[in-house]
Amino acid sequence: EDFVGKGIKKSGIPREDVFITTKLYPDQYADAPNAIDEALKKLDVGYIDLMLLHHPGKGDIDAYKAMEQAVADGKIRSIGLSNWYIKELKEFLPKITILPAVVQNEIHPYYQENEVVDYVHSLGIVMEGWYPLGGRGHTAELLGDKTITEIAKAHGVSSAQVILRWNLQKGVVVIPGSSNPDHIRENLDLFGFELTDEEMTAIKALDRDEKHDWY
């Protein structure tokens, strides 16, 4: 958080042109108000656009309520959850006041979570996917998948672009990470092509229910 805050200031980009998301981790739930203030102090950017609870854990309701108070105090603009699924959401949501703006879960062609996506959308919540390209140790296999590479060839784009475009057409916000400027530009260049219904169906058939992290 401190490095992100310093980077934003050094960039010269106006604060309002940057969307900052950070999280509270389970070991911070017991003292969430101070953890929120600590994040604000480290970032030193005035406010946080979106804060998420990292995953269910002891004290998560109280931690979320602390985020709700931070919204009322103008410290945070939006709040949400990460690694919550249908069962957890059904238990959690009746106990809080502000509907999460976002639920952020692992989503990629080998782990599609279609029922979760539909459920989250039915609540009017944004679905966001982490590990959209498969995650550590799995990216090469996913980018090299025959179905995906054939679709990429047909559109004259990369496999990564096909996967990210597939997410967008499913209504899933994607957050691919990269330190390579060329890859960052490529990840943003998703609006010059559209996958057909047949291509979307072909990618849907790749689902293995194969989770690549334990959350």
Residue 214, pLDDT above cutoff 90: no
Q: What is the pLDDT of residue 136?
A: 87
Which residue carries 């959850």 as its tokens? 81
The pLDDT tens digits of the residues spanning 25-37 come to 999 999 999 999 9
Q: What is the pLDDT of residue 11?
A: 95
Percent of the chain with pLDDT over 70: 100
Q: What is the pLDDT of residue 131?
A: 95
Residues contacting 188, CB < 8 A, separation 6+? none
Strand residue runs (E) in the chain: 21-24, 48-53, 76-82, 102-106, 126-130, 172-174
Two structure tokens written together for 42: 């480290």
Of 92, 105, 27, nearest to 65 (Cα)?
92
Q: What average pLDDT does the segment 178-203 reach?
A: 96
Percent of the chain with pLDDT over 90: 96
The pLDDT tens digits of the residues spanning 104-136 come to 999 999 999 999 999 999 999 999 999 999 998
Name the DSSP letter for residue 119: H
Mean pLDDT score across all residues of the chain: 97
Q: What is the pLDDT of residue 178?
A: 87
The pLDDT tens digits of the residues spanning 52-110 come to 999 999 999 999 999 999 999 999 999 999 999 999 999 999 999 999 999 999 999 99
Window from 16-20, 140-144, 165-169, 173-177 with minimum mean pLDDT: 173-177
Two structure tokens written together for 3: 């490095």
Half-sphere exposure (Cβ direction) of 200: Cα atoms closer than 13 Å? 12
Amino acid sitting at position 41: K
Which residue carries 């249908």 as its tokens? 86
CA distances from 27 to 35, 38, 92, 170 (A): 10, 14, 19, 33
Q: What is the pLDDT of residue 177?
A: 84
Per-domain residue ranges for the chain? 1-100, 134-215
